[in-house]
Structure 1
Amino acid sequence: MVIGIVVVCAVLAVLAFFVPRLSRHPERGTQRTLGLGSRAGSKAPGPLGRLLSKPFRSSSKAVSRSGAAGRRGRGRMPF
């Protein structure tokens, strides 16, 4: 799962750099999917629920950051 998230983040960063407006839809779709996993994991009782939902929350943050970094990098280009 970790390798998959790394690949998704890399693809989103490249996509956000080259076509910033078109990168928002895949980013939101990925975050929606990870949100479903987080909500499903948090249904477990007590600390186990927090433990199971944490990888999905941190992956969602990483996806968001990589898309934002690609768009920010594109905005700083001189052309």
Structure 2
Amino acid sequence: MVIAGVVAICVVLAVLAFLLPRLSHHPQRGTQRTLGLGARGANKAPGRLGRWFAKPFHSSSRAVGKSGSAGRRARGWMPF
């Protein structure tokens, strides 16, 4: 369920970044900020559990960043 949500967000951001590159930065940063809050909350677990709980949030944040930049990069390659 969570994985599907992250995939959906990545797809929406990639399409938004392709269609409206300048307007895609704000939603991307907001999503990454929200995932960062989750990672910081998960980090508060004791010991290694904190790193393990925070890892999905870090991976999701990285995926959101890559999908946004990929959409903007693809737009830059287009001839129009």
TM-score range, shorter chain: over 0.9
Structure 1 segments, 4+ long, off by >2 Å, are none
- 1:65 equivalent in alignment to 2:66: yes
- 1:45 equivalent in alignment to 2:46: yes
Partner letter of residue 24 of structure 1? H
**Structure 2: how far apart are the matches of 1:24 and 1:55?**
22
What is the number of residues matched between the two proteins?
A: 79
Shift of 1:6: 0.1
In percent, how many aligned pairs have the same letter? Answer: 67
Alignment RMSD: 0.3
TM-score, scaled relative to structure 1: 0.99
For structure 2, the 5+ residue unaligned runs are none
TM-score, scaled relative to structure 2: 0.98
Shift of 1:3: 0.3
For structure 1, the 5+ residue unaligned runs are none
**Structure 1: how far apart are the matches of 2:66 and 2:47?**
29
